[in-house]
């Protein structure tokens, strides 16, 4: 993507072809990663077997072995089946290969990690109870400094639940949801509830409902993949979290941030969030967000903003993000203030920016962004347009007032309306945004660093 053909001075048809190729390559590589994860490709290898451990043979009473072992001991499971539920009330480590399968009895949660310092490594957990009201899960973590690493979860209503715990390590696990049926009737793949100072890293969640981070602050959610689910990650009342290097593909919503402050969203891939409610990143009444170096591709809405920031002292910054092939790159619910968009790329979107309710984005600070529909020039060859970029589209203005017109989006009807309004400005559309110094080209932004730290 850095050859001469893709590094021209403007965003013309050739550049769009190059950008489109980059988009397809990035999404295809992530599709391949998600599909191969099911067969146990990295990062889901079981951790190395501990050197000093007590061997537990298949079919043994695992709960009795846990109760009889000493604090700080390690149990190593042989391949085979073990019966749950298990209640881990001391700081022991349970290790096994993926072929060591702990099976649900059909009721309740399969494994409770309630002791501080306990660890569950490498095994497969098959099933849980079927009650949503009691959050029947494969693993329920309530102790501090607990680890769940390299585990495979299947056939469970809820996957990995971390509740009122601190310093948890949830790493390199594979959570397989039902991947069929109504999304709202599935359980959450990973859920943090009142959890702090924890790490959720390198996990794959496939065909589940949500990854939830509620009432949970100061956590790191890094290098995960969430595929074919509802919410890739849903923050609510959760402050100071870092969301970095994740891949969200074919979900309804990639990431949604509600009532939260000081969240960093960086180097994530948010692709193909489709349908009427599809959005890569949704933001509601949240502030002091730093959204940088993300790759938004083929979403119904790239970013959706509602009353953000809410606090008068808060600001949001969007820097070096790329928005490709979306219905609307940025959709604002009302005229937002105290938001800065700097050095972002807007390429091959049906609409770059829209504001619902007849408002505008003139109160947003637009700086040095690249828009592929910019019709200006660069006489001094400094890489920036000599005249401002001004977005005016009569079709978007009418659709914000009459949403039923969206039925014609993509049809020649609205395209002709915009063309006629430019040639014969009998009804002049109002200005949606102004970038006083737009960048001439986004050719150097190929998105290959998104979705990886």
Band (450; pLDDT cuts 50, 70, 90): low
Q: What is the pLDDT of residues 407-427, one digit of tens each?
A: 555 555 555 555 555 555 555
Q: What is the pLDDT of residues 434-445, one digit of tens each?
A: 999 999 987 545
Structural tokens at position 380:
């001094």
Band (30; pLDDT cuts 50, 70, 90): very low
Mean pLDDT is lowest, of 6-10, 151-155, 159-163, 434-438, for: 6-10
For the chain, the three-class secondary structure string (H helix, E strand, C coil) is CCCHHHCCCCCCHHHHHHHHHHHHHHHHHHHHHHHHHCCCCCCCCCCCCCCCCEEECCCCCHHHHHHHCCCCCEEEECCEEEECCEEECCCCEEECCCCEEEECCCCCCCEEECCCCCEEECCEEECCCCCCCCCCEEEEECCCCCEEECCEEECCCEEEEEECCECCEEECCEEECCCCCCHHHCCCCEEEECCECCEEECCEEECCCEEEEECCCCCEEECCEEECCCEEEEEECCCCCEEECCEEECCCEEEEEECCECCEEECCEEECCCCCCCEEEEEECCECCEEECCEEECCCEEEEEECCCCCCCCCEEEECCEEECCCEEEEEECCCCCEEEECCEEECCCEEEEEECCCCCCCCEEECCEECCCCCCCCCCCCECCCCEEECCHHHHHHHHCHHHHHHCCCHHHHHHHHHHHHCCCCCCCCCEEECCCECCCCCCCCCCCCCC
According to the model, what pLDDT value does residue 425 have? 55
User: For residue 77, how many other CB atoms are within 10 A of its CB?
Assistant: 25
Mean pLDDT is lowest, of 30-44, 189-203, 299-313, 383-397, for: 30-44
According to the model, what pLDDT value does residue 13 have? 39
Judged against a pLDDT cut of 90, whether residue 324 lies above it is answered with yes
Judged against a pLDDT cut of 60, whether residue 12 lies above it is answered with no
All structural domains of the chain, each given as residue ranges with its CATH number in brackets, are 1-42+260-392+430-453 (no CATH), 43-238 (2.160.20.10)
> Can you tell me the distance from the alpha carbon of 173 to that of 158, in angstroms, rounded to the nearest whole number?
14
Average pLDDT score, the chain = 86
> Can you tell me the distance from the alpha carbon of 448 to that of 25, in angstroms, rounded to the nearest whole number?
9
Band (400; pLDDT cuts 50, 70, 90): low
According to the model, what pLDDT value does residue 336 have? 79
Band (404; pLDDT cuts 50, 70, 90): low
Residue (of 192, 348, 323) closest to 254 by Cα position: 323
Look at strands 316-319 and 339-342 and give their pairing: parallel
* Distances from the Cα of 245 to the Cα of 31, 102, 124, 274, angstroms: 16, 31, 26, 21
> Can you tell me the distance from the alpha carbon of 96 to that of 75, in angstroms, rounded to the nearest whole number?
8
> Can you tell me the distance from the alpha carbon of 411 to that of 291, in angstroms, rounded to the nearest whole number?
33
The model's pTM? 0.85
Band (253; pLDDT cuts 50, 70, 90): very high
């Amino acid at each position: 993507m850095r050859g001469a053909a893709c590094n021209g001075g403007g965003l013309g048809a050739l550049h769009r072809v190059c950008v489109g190729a980059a988009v397809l390559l990035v999404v295809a590589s992530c599709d391949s990663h998600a599909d191969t994860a099911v067969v146990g490709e990295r990062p889901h290898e079981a951790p190395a077997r501990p050197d000093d451990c007590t061997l537990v043979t298949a079919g043994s009473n695992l709960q009795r072995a846990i109760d009889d072992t000493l604090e700080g001991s390690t149990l190593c499971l042989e391949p085979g089946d073990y019966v749950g539920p298990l209640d881990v009330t001391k700081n022991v480590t349970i290790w096994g290969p993926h072929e060591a399968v702990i099976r649900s009895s059909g009721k309740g949660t399969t494994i409770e990690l309630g002791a501080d310092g306990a660890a569950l490594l490498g095994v497969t957990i098959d099933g849980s109870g079927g009650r949503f009201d009691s959050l029947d899960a494969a693993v329920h973590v309530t102790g501090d400094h607990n680890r769940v690493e390299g585990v495979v979860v299947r056939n469970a209503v809820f996957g990995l639940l971390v509740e009122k715990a601190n310093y948890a390590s949830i790493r390199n696990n594979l959570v397989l949801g039902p991947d069929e049926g109504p999304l709202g009737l599935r359980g959450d793949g990973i859920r943090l509830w009142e959890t702090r100072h924890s790490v959720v890293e390198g996990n794959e969640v496939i065909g589940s409902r949500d990854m939830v981070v509620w009432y949970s602050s100061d956590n790191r959610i890094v290098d995960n993949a969430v595929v074919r689910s509802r919410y890739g990650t849903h923050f609510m009342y959760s402050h100071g979290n870092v969301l970095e290097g994740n891949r969200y593909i074919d979900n309804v919503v990639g990431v949604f941030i509600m009532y939260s402050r000081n969240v960093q969203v960086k180097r994530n891939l948010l692709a193909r969030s489709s349908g009427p409610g599809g959005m890569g990143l949704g933001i509601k009444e949240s502030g002091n967000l730093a959204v940088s170096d993300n790759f938004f591709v083929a979403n119904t809405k790239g970013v959706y903003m509602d009353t953000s920031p809410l606090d008068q002292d808060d600001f949001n910054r969007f820097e070096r993000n790329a928005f490709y092939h979306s219905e609307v790159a940025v959709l604002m619910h009302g005229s937002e203030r105290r938001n800065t968009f700097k050095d972002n790329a807007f390429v091959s979107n049906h609409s770059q920016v829209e504001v619902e309710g007849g408002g505008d984005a003139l109160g947003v600070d637009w700086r040095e962004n690249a828009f592929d529909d910019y019709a200006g020039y660069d006489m001094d060859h400094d890489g920036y347009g000599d005249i401002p970029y001004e977005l005016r589209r009569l079709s978007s203005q009418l659709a914000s007032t009459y949403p039923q017109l969206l039925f014609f989006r993509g049809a020649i009807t609205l395209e002709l309306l915009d063309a006629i309004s430019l040639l014969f400005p009998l009804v002049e559309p109002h200005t949606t945004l102004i970038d006083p110094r737009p960048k001439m080209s986004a050719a150097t932004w190929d998105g290959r660093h998104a979705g990886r730290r």
